[in-house]
Structure 1
Amino acid sequence: MSQHRRWHRYLAVILALTGLSASSSGCRVTARHDFSDPPVAVPDRFRSPESSDAAPVPLEWWAAFGDDELDHLVRESLERNIDLRVAWDRLRQSVAEARIAGAALLPQVDVNGGASLTRTVQHGGTTATFPGARVRRDESDDQYFVGLGLGYEVDLWGRIAAQRSAATLRAQATREDAEATALLVSGRITDLWLTVIEQRALRRLVLEQIETNRRFLELTELRLSLGEGSALDVMQQRQQTAATQSELPVVESALEAAVLQLEVLLGRPPTQRLVLTASAFPDLPPWPELPAPAELCGRRPDLRAALRRLEATDEEVAAAVADRLPRLAISLDYDLSAPHLGRLFEREVTSLIGNFVAPLIDGGRRRAEVERRQSLVQQSLGAFAQSFLDALLEVESAIARERHQRVLIDRLREQVDLARQTVEESRSRYSNGLDSFLSVLTALQSLQQVERRFVTESRRLLTIRAELYRALGGGGWTRALEPSAPRELREIELPERPEEPTP
């Protein structure tokens, strides 16, 4: 047989085994379960207020606030945040693990070669020509060899395919983890940005209140000098002024802390060099269009990750069941050897070996492994159900909190107006000697407290809306992070889960 025909035969065997690799992995011994439907009773709709101007949630959900500075901060955090970069590195690791698991479905081919050079020198003996002379004999025994080995396990029961599918699903879950991390980071950036605006507004308000208290202090001192007031009035107003001044360090501390935390989330050192220009709260966006509760499984990355891990655990059950069944492995070796390199192709050895292994006695280890994997499926299913209920709770809680927060804001706005009127009336009566300064002091304290609370609760209303957006999974958030991933990770193609073949 010519060398070309031999190599053609060898390649034909390789192609046949590769085709067998693609077709034999379909004999799955357990059915693949469908976990796409939520594992708990799901309401038809959320208990949201009726709104004729409801707007869809943008994919980049923070854009609903319509602020360029916030948009810039969130985008920078998605590019530079350390936790998010770690999440991308975990994705790279899990993708590599999925490729490793899938490699066993293909034939493994190795090339080996070498040479052994042996020299034997023998001394002794004589010759007839030169009697008494010693003779030296040199002998050579050289060998050159090269070989090609192919090994392949026929995936009769789909064990390797199930392992690859499980690793693929876990890689996809890791991608969803990265998306969930980005959702958390964007939410934290938004909360801190609103906190910065809140503390700046409080600082302006406290400074205004300090100035107001000083004017009232001047009034009490004037009345005391005219003999119409008392030293107690002056002391009480000085105490009120000092109390208001003591609020300023608290506000400044909270403002600096928020800026420092923003810098860290942006991947910067906390140096207080971040320049922020926002000075007023954005308008509350229109009420969002709410999806059906069942759609949360597809919208929220944490639920998508939990679902992928549940499916991966189910695949591992199939692999454990198949591990109890016989295995068939095939090895093909093609070797060339000769004492000289020029004669290397004169002698060839080809061997094809089939190896059949069936578990017989293992002390119940494989059966116990199946039971363990099945219990993990039930645990994962329960965890997924609880995560889904928690997601429903987050949405419903955010809806309820915003509804009540709006009422609170209206009541506080009304209270501020009434408190201002009360201060003016009490001041007028005190100036005319119709009432004591205590009524002025009480009204002033009440006004300044409710003014500060109004600022805080206004920020809280916007924070609750941001929490609602995040509870909904943003605007869907599917593949929203491609621009923010490091360049080398944008090129990673996640392996797809193989379809379940028809028996």
Structure 2
Amino acid sequence: MEAPIEEPEEFSYSGAEIIPDKWWLSFEDPGLNALVKQGLDENLALAGNWEAFQAALAVVRRESSYLWPAIDATARSAISRPQPDFAGGENLQLGLSASYEVDLWGRIQSGIEAEEFRAQATFYDYQTAAMTLSAEISTTWYQLLTARAQLELANQQIETNEDIMRLIRARFVGGQIRAVDILRQQQLLESTRNQKIQYETQVALFENELSVLLGTPPQNEPAFPQDSLPELPPLPETGLPLELIRRRPDVLQAYNLVLAADRDMAQAIRSKFPRLSLNLQGQMRSNNYNNLFQDWAYTLAGNIVAPLLYAGRLRAEVSRTEALKQRQLYLYGQTVLTAFREVEDALVREIKQKEQLEVLQSRLELAEKTNRQLRLEFLNGITEYLDVLLALDQEQQLQRDILEARQILLEIRISLYRSLAGGFETESPAAP
């Protein structure tokens, strides 16, 4: 069953690296590997998705049971005074009864197949949740590393600004600068200290978020490894769009829901046909235990029920299931289009983010050269300290911007991996 969309062309960009199923291994980051493994093992929301899959399998087993006879056992014991009882019936009864519907037109089988497809869709939903969780852990981990790097940079910049503060105060005593220059430098120093507070806050919040993703209380202060941002791996091979459809778990989930809706419609159609059921009943009756096993009887009956007049109820059910099937087909097509867009978006964003990072690197180099030159001119009394201050502020801001740009580039690559990778094998979450 094809998605109702145009034939897709190849993606705009592609690399040569093959993405492993466990795509986070591409970063070659042992710390990230350990965190993702722990998250897949202990995340509570993912464990809930697994239980939903188990519930769907139980529904399949329940529906499959209708292909087999249903057997019931009955037992009755009563005491009547005076004997014999007023109704003249037996006070002791033992019996077995069995009922079975012959699946002449495959109505029951269609219902079973529908639940099987839904169970498969639930499994792909679990894989999608695992994929999303791995991406969230990776993103949060690199946000934490970036916040730590920003905090370290802020401490270095505070130290630099304090050194400059001591220098210009010494020059102020000699009458070489104005008092306002000291105040401006103090403003820059306080601004950098404020940045430090913000980064300390971010480090704590990212640690809390990562703890919850890993299934641990954030107040338990888990120890996350000290690490630095990795180098960006080579651009992966995007492959053909149709290959993406066959491997992404969210697309496969939508496709299986279409198949389930198709089987629902088939079941509704076959409900309009006659049904054949068989019933077998055997009983032993007596007024005392001694004669209970002497008399017995059985009944075998066959019933054919054919719907004649339901005021359009069955036709309406067929129309309803057909409409739901078409809806699922359109949703499947929309899921496919969204998958294509996510890949294209990630590719474009990565190319442009690399360009932006190159521009930032060039700007930082120019800012460093400008700052050095202005310092020399200031020491020689050629330029005002305000020019030095502005250049220093710009250089420090560019240093922070580059760290943020590197982190965004990693986030974009995570998004690209998540868009291209298929489902990966995971062990069932451990019971709490």
The aligned counterpart of 2:207 is 259
- List aligned pairs for 1:87-486, cutoff 5 A: 87-120=49-82, 143-271=91-219, 273-472=221-420, 474=421, 476-478=422-424, 480-481=425-426, 483-486=427-430
Rounded Cα–Cα distance in structure 1 between residues aligned with 2:266 and 2:333: 22
SS class of match (1:252): helix
Instruction: Let me know the Cα RMSD of the aligned residues.
Output: 1.9
Distance 1:327 1:142 in 2: 35
Q: Show CA shifts across 1:176-227 (max 9, x none).
A: 1111111111111101100111001001111111111122222221221111
Deviations 1:288-343 (A, max 9, x none): 12221112222111111111111111110011111112111111112233445454
Any conservation in 2 of the 1:224–1:230 contact (CA below 8 Å)? yes
Could you report, residue by residue, the CA deviation over 1:112-171 in whole angstroms, capped at 9, with x for unpaired residues? 22334445369xxxxxxxxxxxxxxxxx98653322211011112211111111111111
Q: Is the 8 A contact 1:263 1:269 kept in 2?
A: yes
Which runs of no fewer than 5 residues in structure 1 stay unpaired?
1-34, 123-139, 489-503
Post-superposition Cα deviations, 1:378-422, rounded to whole Å, max 9, x if no partner, equal: 111111101110010000100111111111111111211111111
2:3, 2:329 within 8 Å by CA — same for their partners in 1?
no
The corresponding residue for 1:43 is 8
| Alignment size in residue pairs | 429
Structure 2 distance, partners of 1:180, 1:61, is 14
Q: Which has the larger radius of gyration?
A: 1
Deviations 1:236-275 (A, max 9, x none): 1111111111111111111110000111111111116121
Cα 1:335–1:101 shift into 2, 3 Å: same
Structure having the higher helix fraction is 2
Q: Tell me the TM-score normalized by structure 2.
A: 0.95
Query: What residue number does 1:59 align with?
Result: 21
**Which residue of structure 1 lines up, in the alignment, with residue 36 of structure 2?**
74
Specify the SS of the correspondent of 2:265: helix
Normalised by the length of structure 1, the TM-score is 0.82
Deviates more, 1:330-339 or 1:247-256: 330-339
- C-alpha distance after superposition, 1:5-61 (max 9, x if no partner): xxxxxxxxxxxxxxxxxxxxxxxxxxxxxx2x3331232421114x4xx22111111
Structure 2: gaps (5+ residues): none
> Percent sequence identity over matched residues?
34
Is the Cα–Cα contact under 8 Å of residues 26 and 233 in structure 2 kept in the other structure? yes
Per-residue CA deviation, residues 401-444 of structure 1 (Å, 9 max, x unaligned), is 11111111111112111111111110010000011112111111
Secondary structure of residue in 2 paired with 1:40: coil
How big is the shift at 1:469?
0.6
Amino acid in the other structure paired with 2:429: A
Give 1:98's aligned amino acid: V
Give the letter aligned to residue 423 of structure 2: W
